[in-house]
Amino acid sequence: MSAIHLHFDVPGDDFTRAGEASGSTKKRLKALGYDSDAIRRVAIAMYEAEINMVIHANGGYCDVDVYPDRVEILLADDGPGIEDIDKAMQEGYSTAPDNVRSLGFGAGMGLPNIKKYSDEMRIDTKLGIGTKLYLTIKVH
């Protein structure tokens, strides 16, 4: 059973709004009294994934389930998919174009960061169909 369920649509055409889902989730977890280190791990992992959906996949949605001991997050898009997951997981690997880099992203650090801050991470991706990222973060 899920204690609290949050759902967010992430628009793909508005870079300035990317991060709103993660920010709202962070605020909610704070209000629920979770440990601030744990909240920060959730916020960073989710934010990196949310940004990825916007810059690589033209947006998508997030579902967040908050349990007493963990937060489970699904980030789903119907973007181009990831061709080589092993490569994508490497620090410094990025297919982001220069205009994304000038926005401060495209260092190829997002997926490695997500792995570092989450306790479980699973990627389901199909070329031309989309990507689903499942994250579990323990919160105490």
Partner 1 sequence: MIVRDIIDILEGEIICEGNLDQEILTACGSDMMSDVLAFVKDQSVLLTGLVNPQVVRTAEMMDMACIIFVRGKVPDESIITLAKARGITLMKTRFRMFTACGLLYSNGLSGGCKV
Ligand X SMILES: Nc1ncnc2c1ncn2[C@@H]1O[C@H](COP(=O)(O)OP(=O)(O)OP(=O)(O)O)[C@@H](O)[C@H]1O
Give yes or no for residue 110 binding Mg ion (CB under 5 A): yes
Name residues contacting ligand X, limited to 35-94 (CB under 6 A): 48, 52-53, 56-57, 77, 79-82, 88, 93-94
Which of 12, 105, 121, 125 lies at the binding interface for partner 1 (CB under 8 A)? 105
Smaller CB separation from Mg ion, 25 or 52: 52
Nearer to ligand X, 28 or 109 (CB): 109
Exposed e or buried b for every residue in 25-59, given b needs 16+ CB within 10 A?
Answer: bbeebeeeebeeebbebbbbbbbbbbbbbbbbbbb
Q: What count of other Cβ atoms lies within 10 Å of the Cβ of residue 65?
A: 16
Contact between 21 and 84 (Cβ < 8 Å): no
Q: How far apart are CA 130 and CA 64, in angstroms?
A: 19
Residue 10 or 29 having the CB closest to ligand X: 10
Q: Rank residues 48 and 77 by Cβ distance to partner 1 and give the closer one.
A: 48
**CA neighbor of 55 nearest in space, from 14, 26, 84:** 14
CA angle 15, 126, 64 (to 5 degrees): 55
Contact footprint for partner 1 (CB under 8 A): 15-16, 18-19, 22-23, 26, 36, 40, 43-44, 47-48, 51, 101, 103-110, 112-113, 116
**Which residues make up the interface to ligand X (CB under 6 A)?**
48, 52-53, 56-57, 77, 79-82, 88, 93-96, 105-111, 131
